[in-house]
Structure 1
Amino acid sequence: MNSPTTKIAVFGAGSIGCYLGGLLKSQDADLVFIGRSRLQHAVKQNGLTLTHFQNAPIHLGAEKVTIKTSSSALSDCDLILLCTKSQDTALAAQDILKHAKPGAHVISCQNGIRNVAVLKEELGTAFKVSGAIVPFNVTPNGSASYHCGTGGTLHFEHNLPDDVCLAFNKAGQATQYGGNFEGDQWAKLLVNLNNALNTLSGGTLRESFSQKDYRRAFACVIQEGLDVAKTKDIEVGRFNGHSPKAVIKLLKLPNVLYRILMDHIVKIDAKARSSMLDDLEIGRKSEIEYLQGEIVRQGKILGVETYANSNVLDAINTAFEKGMSPKLSGTEILKLVKK
């Protein structure tokens, strides 16, 4: 007897949502995207295209992609991949309460470490809530086209339905489940602190990391995050197979050694850059409060100094107020974070 097909909603169809949903839809998953009208119009005109720095592109014709602009489309879904920005989690939860069927599984595919707790507080026991760690970078690459510029394994806190897991794997996206999920989520948070630094530099990730002082600045903000986690008795895990402590050692290497090791350890597309920089350039709100802001907030509670992250937080808030990156050099960013 065949297992029932899982009805999936991607709630918050931005770059990550369109990429995850597009992978599933390429394998004929029963899926609806819930997003803005401009996405609906773009897909109607161009279909949905996913590109990857290593894999073959995927193009889905408009007839294969269902996009709704109302959260009422959640009503018959079994699995909800929540891909909104972290600052919109509470509002999204209210829409889920209003429209989704009780018992649906809501998975936070968002940055930060607070979203699952917010969802559980808002949704109560009527829904199953868990987290996911999305390891790769996705940026818009034209109208209804999204480019994945880094690799990694999707990490889910709890198992997915068999048909959803199979669809991801057939689409070429590896998945894993369980383990030290909280620790691995912290590891991702610490690595994601680079989103802000890349936004301050205004260039690609490759351009940023080619500068030794930029890497030293990144090491500083990670170390503060590790200090906060240690004080909280968090066993920080791994992100894309690497611990933040190991990342710090790598970041401090001379340029020649760094480039040799990076070519073997992490593959980064030449065009890849942070989603925060994209948000800045298109006028969206920043997620900084859920990245550097989280480290600073918890540091204040625990009495842990967060000088570097505090300064980055202030600089990002200023950049978003002005609507443009200050385009700082690695040396200037290092001066910002070092006493």
Structure 2
Amino acid sequence: MSAADGNNGMPRIGIMGAGAIGLYVGGMLATAGARVTFAARGRTLEALSRGLAVTRIGGFKAELKPERYRAGSVSGLAGCDVILFCTKSGDTEGSARELAAVLSKPVTVISLQNGVGNVDLLRSCLPGQEIVAGTVPFNVVRMSPNAVHCAMTGMVLIGPGVASQRLVEAAHGSPLAIGIRDDIDAVLWGKLMLNLNNGLNVVNGVPLRQQFSDPGYRQVLAMAIDELLAALDAAGIEPAGATRTNPRLIPKILRLPTWLFRIIARQQLRMDATARSSSWDDLKASRVPETAFLNGAVCKLAEAQGLQAPVNRLICDFVDRAFAAGASPEMTGDELLARVRIALG
């Protein structure tokens, strides 16, 4: 079968990594009639045999029966035309090699992962395959092994590729919006700014909307983003916005008084009370944190430019301690800000 075959002439879409993002994007595509196959194992695979529930902010709900998609081992992705790579960054290499062992024809692999560097790793592990960068600049919460909830508005962004427009068309008929960006590499750096909060959400341990009401946390996040901007400037990299907000305005907005921040946040970034970061989900599930690919990436870029990123380094340390303890320290913004100021001397 060619990429034009399948349901309604749409490409066959595989999901590598059946976590919150993989289940949400794959589930939304399935609601639009796309032919979707999930590579899953363990509790997730067993739960998908009973169905998949997908909801999103604004009231959308879909209960997908198992006949609406396929779920099984990685070998089930061999017949797909487009594979959305949604694993955790720390699992990229191992999962890519697992995928490489079952692919027998050229496919388009689109990374929808956090952090930077995953695309280069995928290219090294999947030679001969088209690798396209992408990002999901909104929050998805895993409610149960086969239920996910999108708690924020936003659009999936992907780079140009052989199958990119086909994927956009496959989402028609569902609330999932997919956009193609020629500047996707710059967008990944812009998205990283937002992901620098993931570790802070672990340190705080409360839903994102509650966390962003804490001026101490917003101040620390602004300082972490300042370090990233300084490193990007030194490297000659200009980030692009993954949301409607100019990336360079984000630290200024975070430092606004809470009442004014809330007004702007309601206009620019809608989220409901359930929104949590993916790193918080990782803590609860006892998975390895992605901080090395987020705040750690800032430290690495800064060091390469002869700079330091002490705030991001401290966030990495706090997250490592939280994961070692298996619980959030539930630190207030004022407590964290005081710790940061001590670390800065």
What TM-score, normalized to structure 2?
0.93
Distance (Å, rounded) in 2 between the aligned partners of 1:149 and 1:337: 30
User: Matches of residues 106-185 of structure 1 in structure 2 within 5 Å?
Assistant: 106-124=109-127, 126-159=128-161, 160=163, 162-185=165-188
Question: Is it true that 1:219 corresponds to 2:222 in the alignment?
Answer: yes
Question: Is it true that 1:201 corresponds to 2:204 in the alignment?
Answer: yes
Percent identity over the alignment? 33
Match of 2:86 among 45, 60, 83: 83
SS at match of 1:328: coil
Aligned length, in residue pairs: 335
**1:245-302 C-alpha deviation (Å, 9 max, x unpaired):** 2111111111111112222221011110101011101211100110011111222222
**1:157-205 C-alpha deviation (Å, 9 max, x unpaired):** 1144554322313212222112321111100011100000011000000
SS at match of 2:60: coil
Between 171-180 and 149-158, the greater mean CA deviation after superposition: 171-180
Cα deviation, residue 137, structure 1: 0.7
Question: Is it true that 1:62 corresponds to 2:66 in the alignment?
Answer: yes
Structure 1 unaligned regions, length at least 5: none
Distance (Å, rounded) in 2 between the aligned partners of 1:273 and 1:255: 20
Partner amino acid for 2:20?
S
Partner amino acid for 1:237?
A
Residues 86, 111 of structure 2: 8 Å contact kept: yes
Distance (Å, rounded) in 2 between the aligned partners of 1:219 and 1:169: 37
Cα deviation, residue 101, structure 1: 2.6
Residues 25, 176 of structure 2: 8 Å contact kept: no
Partner amino acid for 2:95?
A
Residues 28, 174 of structure 2: 8 Å contact kept: yes
Deviating above 6 A after TM superposition, structure 1's stretches of 4 or more consecutive aligned residues are: none
Residues 152, 272 of structure 2: 8 Å contact kept: yes
Residues 169, 175 of structure 1: 8 Å contact kept: no
Match of 1:6 among 11, 26, 34: 11
Between 30-39 and 306-315, the greater mean CA deviation after superposition: 30-39
What TM-score, normalized to structure 1?
0.95
Structure 2 unaligned regions, length at least 5: none
Distance (Å, rounded) in 2 between the aligned partners of 1:286 and 1:337: 21
Partner amino acid for 1:152?
G
Residues 48, 65 of structure 1: 8 Å contact kept: no
